[in-house]
Amino acid sequence: MSDKTIFQRIIDREIPSDIVFENDAYIAIRDIQPRAPIHVLVIPKRFSARLDDIHDSSELGELMQTAIQVARSLSPDYRLTVNVGKQGGQEVFHTHVHILAGWENGPQGHL
Ligand code: AMP
């Protein structure tokens, strides 16, 4: 069995996904179980398990810039979320930023 994460398998085209953006360093795909009318995941191709494993500030900045760029291409207003660790709600241990958008009256519920 492969020990690649599901996102690595998507990057490697081993499993299909709905890609909304891709360059050398990032891929953005639609979440398979959307929690908002627009729900996209921005995934760095360079592997790290969780956000706080990235210690390079330019790498962190570039991830945020890419998430903003993709988000703005989808909606003028949006929410960015990063779940870090099991207790932080992270299920896939390959760093990713959630873009959530498209509500008529803004997000309901949690922060
Ligand atoms: P997190 O809980 O922050 O780790 O988020 C993982 C996200 O990945 C969840 O919102 C899942 O719905 C999503 N997900 C899992 N498998 C896939 C897949 N094959 N394609 C797209 N999104 C996926």
pLDDT (tens digit, 9 = 90+) per residue, 27-66? Answer: 999 999 999 999 999 999 999 999 999 999 999 999 999 9
What is residue 2's predicted lDDT score, i.e. its pLDDT?
A: 66
Q: What's the DSSP call for residue 31?
A: -
**CA dist list (Å): 81 to 9, 15, 40, 94, 101:** 22, 24, 11, 14, 11
Which carries the bigger pLDDT value, residue 25 or residue 2? 25
Ligand 1 centroid to Cα of residue 15, in Å, is 13
Pocket test for ligand 1, best of 91, 93, 94 (most atoms within 8 A of CB): 91
Which carries the bigger pLDDT value, residue 17 or residue 106? 17
Count of Cβ atoms closer than 10 Å to residue 101 Cβ: 19
Ligand 1 centroid to Cα of residue 32, in Å, is 6
The residue behind tokens 């509500």 is 103
Q: Per DSSP, what are the bridge partners of residue 97?
A: 42
Taking the C-alpha atoms of residue 51 and residue 38, their distance in angstroms, rounded to an integer, is 22
What is residue 1's predicted lDDT score, i.e. its pLDDT?
A: 56
What is residue 72's predicted lDDT score, i.e. its pLDDT?
A: 98
Domains and CATH numbers, the chain: 6-101 (3.30.428.10)
Query: For residue 15, which atom of ligand 1 is closest to its CA?
Result: 19
pLDDT (tens digit, 9 = 90+) per residue, 60-103? Answer: 999 999 999 999 999 999 999 999 999 999 999 999 999 999 99
Which carries the bigger pLDDT value, residue 53 or residue 106? 53
